[in-house]
Amino acid sequence: MLSEETIRALEPDMVEWRRHFHRHPELSFEEFRTSEMIAGLLESWGLEVRRGVAGTGVIGTLRGARPGKTVALRADIDALPIQDQKTCDYASRTPGVMHACGHDGHTAQLLAVARYYSLRREETAGTRVFLFQPAEETLPGGAAAMIREGALDGVAAVFGCHLWTPFPYGVVATRPGPVMASPDEFEIEITGRGGHAGMPHLSSDALLAGAHLVTVIQSIVSRNVNPLDAAVVTVGRIAAGTANNVIAETCRIGGTVRTFTEEARDVIRRRLEETAAHVCALHGARHEFRFMEGYPPVVNDPKETARFFRVASALDGGWKVTECDRIMAGEDFSYYLRERPGCYFFVGAGRPDGSSAPHHHPLFDIEEKAMFAAARLLIAVADDAAEAS
């Protein structure tokens, strides 16, 4: 049974830790002070601690006094290269770096869960493994390396959650099967022939080829991907030109592809390559095409997801437990779910009126009560899974 009293007593610490991490964010694979603080706290509570996993990751292990399975719980600990524009006292003090995705909250809530178990060791069945993973935000991510270094050894099931501001506080959601997309990236570098803007016939305009390419790319999802298969192609970046009166010699385009199936992923990759080749040929420009495969899609195990729904609905959190749509963001939690059954779920951390800034925005912030909800859910589902026969 979840001890409401024990977890409730940890809420002020959770908020304090979260604000500390928020003030002192660190980029992917550079989470040195963050992981030092995590490891220090876990050690002070008597957990077995492994430092330096996947570079800056930390794994804490707690063996309960009663028999049961080993369940892993994961938090990502990295921040983003974004300038915090908030003015609150816990705004980032590191220029150009910010916890703009809530990973500070993930870290704080998993610390509270670890502290909870250290206080409830006698009542705990089985073992809990706490995965504090670096670098969720940057390919190749920290999850695959954590697994290579033994993060899932002996683990029967794995759970994780994202504090999610598109959902208001009070909503708890996930779905069985595919829940988050595979995020690939592409870059196209176009080289034409620069020259005098007044004499375009003597040049090959890389900027025009790039502009044309950006619009033609938009037909890939609408005309080439099976309409029953969800997919996104976004061009997020274009750079060309040096002066108003110069024809651009080069144009660089960068973007991302989001899919749930290998079929859609292959079609998009092939059509991006073909479209780039043909459009550049049309404009008499050369090009280079690069495609960087991202994380696999996050696919929830149906049985563990059913467990999560049952446990979350039985807990009195005053929340609404729902099955959500698939989400086109990516997550390297997918790697854990390829190795072990488990479930990744979302805890609403947005304002009730929907006015919260989106993830990865300079004004991003979370409703901190959501961490308390997430901690309770993680404990309840881990206990249920550890005690399952």
Are 379 and 115 contacting, i.e. CB atoms less than 8 angstroms apart?
A: no
Q: Which is nearer to Ni ion, 59 or 101 (CB)?
A: 101
The long-range contacts involving 241-248, CB below 8 angstroms and separated by at least 24 positions, are 241/207, 244/197, 245/196, 245/197, 245/198, 246/194, 246/195, 246/196, 246/197, 247/192, 247/193, 247/194, 247/195, 247/196, 247/197, 247/200, 247/203, 247/205, 247/207, 248/192, 248/194, 248/205, 248/206, 248/207
Q: Which is nearer to Ni ion, 117 or 164 (CB)?
A: 164
Q: Which is nearer to Ni ion, 217 or 298 (CB)?
A: 298
Q: Least separation, in Å, of the C-beta of 162 and Ni ion?
A: 6
**Placement of tokens 């749509």 in the chain:** 325
Tokens of 362: 């300079």
Number of residues lying near Ni ion (CB under 5 A) = 1
Scanning 20-28, 94-102, 235-243, 264-272 for contacts with Ni ion by CB under 5 A, the matching segment is: 94-102
Q: Least separation, in Å, of the C-beta of 373 and Ni ion?
A: 17
380 interacts with Ni ion by CB under 5 A: no
- Say which of 76, 78, 137, 368 is annotated catalytic: 78
Scanning 12-20, 96-104, 238-246, 309-317 for contacts with Ni ion by CB under 5 A, the matching segment is: 96-104
**Placement of tokens 């908020």 in the chain:** 15
End-to-end CA distance of the chain: 17
Q: Which is nearer to Ni ion, 101 or 272 (CB)?
A: 101
Among 53, 72, 101, 217, binds Ni ion (CB under 5 A): 101
172 interacts with Ni ion by CB under 5 A: no
- Say which of 76, 136, 189, 384 is annotated catalytic: 136
Are 100 and 79 contacting, i.e. CB atoms less than 8 angstroms apart?
A: yes
346: phi then psi, degrees, rounded to nearest 5: -115, 135
Q: Closest residue to Ni ion, Cβ-based?
A: 101
Q: Least separation, in Å, of the C-beta of 132 and Ni ion?
A: 14
Taking residues 298 to 337 in sequence order and writing x for each that binds Ni ion by CB under 5 A, - otherwise, the string is ----------------------------------------
347 interacts with Ni ion by CB under 5 A: no
DSSP-assigned states of every residue in 33-72: HHHHHHHHHHHHTT-EEEEEETTTEEEEEEE-SEEEEEEE
Q: Which is nearer to Ni ion, 52 or 358 (CB)?
A: 358
110 interacts with Ni ion by CB under 5 A: no
27 interacts with Ni ion by CB under 5 A: no
Q: Within 192-211, which residues bind Ni ion (CB under 5 A)?
A: none
Q: Which is nearer to Ni ion, 246 or 363 (CB)?
A: 363
Scanning 19-27, 98-106, 285-293, 308-316 for contacts with Ni ion by CB under 5 A, the matching segment is: 98-106
Is beta strand 66-76 parallel, antiparallel or unpaired with respect to 125-133?
Answer: parallel
- Asked if 122 is an active-site residue, the reply is no
- Asked if 353 is an active-site residue, the reply is no
Are 1 and 10 contacting, i.e. CB atoms less than 8 angstroms apart?
A: no
Q: Which residues contact 9 (CB under 8 A, 6 or more apart)?
A: none
143 interacts with Ni ion by CB under 5 A: no
- Nearest 5°: the CA angle 181, 152, 291 is 35
Residue numbers at the binding site for Ni ion (CB under 5 A) = 101
| Residues classed as catalytic | 78, 136
